[in-house]
Structure 1
Amino acid sequence: MPRLIKFLFCYLLVSLLSGCGYNAMQASDEQVKAAWSEVLNQYQRRADLIPNLVSTVKGYAAHEQAVLTQVTEARARVGSVSLNADQLGDEAAVKRFQQAQGELSSALSRLLVVTENYPQLKADSLFKDLLTQLEGTENRIAVARGRYVKAVQDYNVLIRQFPQAITAKIFGYQPKANFSVENEAAISSAPKVDFGAPPAQPAQ
């Protein structure tokens, strides 16, 4: 008899949790984590390309040290601002991560503008290959970021709906931070690779 009571209690508990969206929250939370892992994977892929890119540019434009340093320092800042899936509820931490990535994107854009002044560099096969990889990585970042945005949106909507909101409160499910509008705009523009564009004029 005690076993039957225990079984019925467990069955009732599982039924209540399922009906209140617990399983859906678990699945949605895992989806957000998977989407974020892919975002990090693509950002890491970009970071891994940068040392070779900087080294190649330095071979032709060693005196453009200021721009090369900016890129290297921006990459270092990106490496020091980690953000794992368990921190996605911390909006300030997400903003710091986005800002670091945005600074790296801006530094890369400045580097590519500088390369317009070096025809021999633009003809270098290694440089061309690195730019192709960079463009592909930026596209992958955009796709991964879009999937993360959608996963977070679905998750946040789920835990705010009734009766799931009650279950979320009981089990400690919190809303997760998404890309903010200004940061999304800052990092969603891939560095432009346009060999026909005129070189930028230095600021006076």
Structure 2
Amino acid sequence: MEWIVLALVVGAVIAAVLIYNRLVTARNRYRNAFAQIDVQLTRRHDLIPNLVSVAQRYLDHERETLEAVTAARNQAEAQLDAARRAPGDTGAMQGLEGAESGLTAALGRLFAVAESYPELKADATMMQLSESLTNTENRVAFARQAYNDAVLGYNNLREVFPNNLLSGLFRFRPARLLTVDDPAKREAVQVAFN
């Protein structure tokens, strides 16, 4: 009888260690995935001052637009810094989502204004920066998908039985997905039949 109890205790301890290790691995996986988002968003944020600098040469009368882009970039940088300290944290992810959505909207306004200035659209540096920004946006989307996949795996792992018993005990908090809304993508497509 003693051997059976001892075997059950040893089995429970081994199971707990395995569950704990799997939770730590999953948490590290989503933190690493966030680090990739961090790299791409930092690259995006670094491109914006150059874009504003080139646009300033042509957009003398659009100071508000340029200031809005700069302010949105600074806000996004601050929120990214907060998210770096706590990847997966609900408040940090919500702040980052809001700031990045604001930055995307400000950039959209800048590019809409730039359409009215043919010489700005034709500027080689502006075209190169726009292309770099587009490539970076694609990388951000890819990194965000990898992060969200890792968060989903972690959250699933911490919520299934018997893992949920230990995840609460060891304070494995739920991680939040990162969804940055693009206002242009949310608008319904208008179809007209004449």
Q: TM-score range by the shorter chain?
A: 0.7 to 0.9
Q: 95-104 vs 77-86, which deviates more? A: 77-86
Question: How big is each residue's C-alpha offset from its partner over 1:118-167, in whole Å with a ceiling of 9 and x where there is no partner?
Answer: 11111111111101100000000100111111110110000000111112
Distance 1:91 1:60, change over 3 A: same
> Residue 182 of structure 2 corresponds to which residue in structure 1?
186
Write the distance in 1 (CA, Å) between the matches of 2:132 and 2:163.
Answer: 43
Runs of 4+ in 1 over 4 A off after TM superposition: 11-14
Question: How big is each residue's C-alpha offset from its partner over 1:83-124, in whole Å with a ceiling of 9 and x where there is no partner?
Answer: 345524532232111101110000000000111111111111
> Residue 158 of structure 2 corresponds to which residue in structure 1?
159
Asked if 2 retains the 8 angstrom alpha-carbon contact of 1:35 and 1:151, the reply is yes
Residue type matched to 2:74 in 1?
Answer: A
> Residue 120 of structure 1 corresponds to which residue in structure 2?
119
Give the alignment partner of residue 33 of structure 1, picking from 31, 34, 39.
31
> Residue 167 of structure 2 corresponds to which residue in structure 1?
168
Asked if 2 retains the 8 angstrom alpha-carbon contact of 1:60 and 1:121, the reply is yes
Write the distance in 2 (CA, Å) between the matches of 1:152 and 1:87.
Answer: 13
Q: Provide structure 1 residue ranges, at least 5 long, that are not aligned to the other structure.
A: 1-7, 190-204
State the secondary structure of the residue aligned to 1:133.
helix
TM-score using structure 1 length: 0.79
Deviation at 1:26, TM superposition (A): 1.3
> Residue 52 of structure 2 corresponds to which residue in structure 1?
54
Deviation at 1:43, TM superposition (A): 0.8
Write the distance in 2 (CA, Å) between the matches of 1:178 and 1:101.
Answer: 14
State the secondary structure of the residue aligned to 1:174.
coil
State the secondary structure of the residue aligned to 1:83.
helix
> Residue 3 of structure 2 corresponds to which residue in structure 1?
none
Asked if 2 retains the 8 angstrom alpha-carbon contact of 1:74 and 1:100, the reply is yes
Write the distance in 2 (CA, Å) between the matches of 1:90 and 1:137.
Answer: 24
Distance 1:25 1:93, change over 3 A: same
> Residue 64 of structure 1 corresponds to which residue in structure 2?
62
Write the distance in 1 (CA, Å) between the matches of 2:181 and 2:83.
Answer: 22
Do structure 1's residue 92 and structure 2's residue 91 form an aligned pair? yes
Residue type matched to 2:182 in 1?
Answer: A
% identical equivalent positions = 34
> Residue 3 of structure 1 corresponds to which residue in structure 2?
none
> Residue 111 of structure 1 corresponds to which residue in structure 2?
110
Q: Provide structure 2 residue ranges, at least 5 long, that are not aligned to the other structure.
A: 1-6, 186-194
Asked if 1 retains the 8 angstrom alpha-carbon contact of 2:97 and 2:181, the reply is no
After superposition, where does 1:139-150 map in structure 2 within 5 Å? 139-150=138-149
Alpha-carbon RMSD across the aligned residues, in angstroms, is 2.2
Distance 1:188 1:89, change over 3 A: farther
Asked if 2 retains the 8 angstrom alpha-carbon contact of 1:33 and 1:85, the reply is no
Deviation at 1:187, TM superposition (A): 7.2
Asked if 2 retains the 8 angstrom alpha-carbon contact of 1:142 and 1:188, the reply is no
Asked if 1 retains the 8 angstrom alpha-carbon contact of 2:83 and 2:93, the reply is no
